[in-house]
Amino acid sequence: MATIRLGDTAPNFTAETSQGTLNFYDYLGDSWGILFSHPADFTPVCTTELGTAAKFKDEFDKRNVKMIALSVDGAESHAEWIKDINEVEKTTVNFPIIADEDRKVATLYDMIHPNADDKLTVRSVFIIAPDKAVKLILTYPASTGRNFYELLRVVDSLQLTAYHKVATPANWEHGQDVVVSPAIPTEQAREMFTKGVEEVKPYLRMTPDPTA
């Protein structure tokens, strides 16, 4: 079983899903992607998560991020579970859920951690850039649901820092000041960032969000 690390190329696969057979790379196209796994169908925390994900889809769409989930149960089970999710969360699941009964995708993405459970997947999150590089990995225990506001915040940071020579400080949210890359001398930074550069320390320079 391979371990996936930041910067690695996300493994491609073809799988059955709640929306038919799809190839992962074809599904993503030139978009960003977010792949998140669930231990099993008809589990309580996962039901709330998938319903919440459906409600957040418009926000991910605005950021050119395609969503896809995974559970180790089959497509028929997914179809029945989706009915429950839609009812409980008063929404419509509007993205594919991978049917991974043979654990093929879970194994590719190292989603089964035997010390936690030798059959069920942990709650993994992978954010993947258009070039298919893995940009973020999060792993939650089965007992802890994800925070989708945090996932949107992380996407905003990843996309900003992918296209501008900046980093985002603690608790940063879109529109707030960002950190100038340490590799850029201050005088050069002042030419690049026309909204201004504040030198807090020689190694800590702040500038307004260039996209705001």
Catalytic site includes residue 46: yes
Catalytic residue among 28, 34, 35, 46: 46
Cα gap 88→34, rounded to integer Å: 23
Q: Are 15 and 103 in contact (CB under 8 A)?
A: no
Tell me the backbone φ, ψ of residue 195, rounded to 5 degrees: -80, -5
- Give the position of tokens 């298919």: 132
- Give the position of tokens 């850029």: 184
| Cα 212–chain centre separation | 22
HSE, side-chain direction, 13 A CA sphere, residue 132: 11
Query: Which pair of structure tokens corresponds to residue 204?
Result: 């800590």
Map residue 4 onto helix, strand or coil: coil
Query: Which pair of structure tokens corresponds to residue 134?
Result: 């893995």
Q: Are 166 and 182 in contact (CB under 8 A)?
A: no
Type of residue at 176: Q
Catalytic residue list:
46
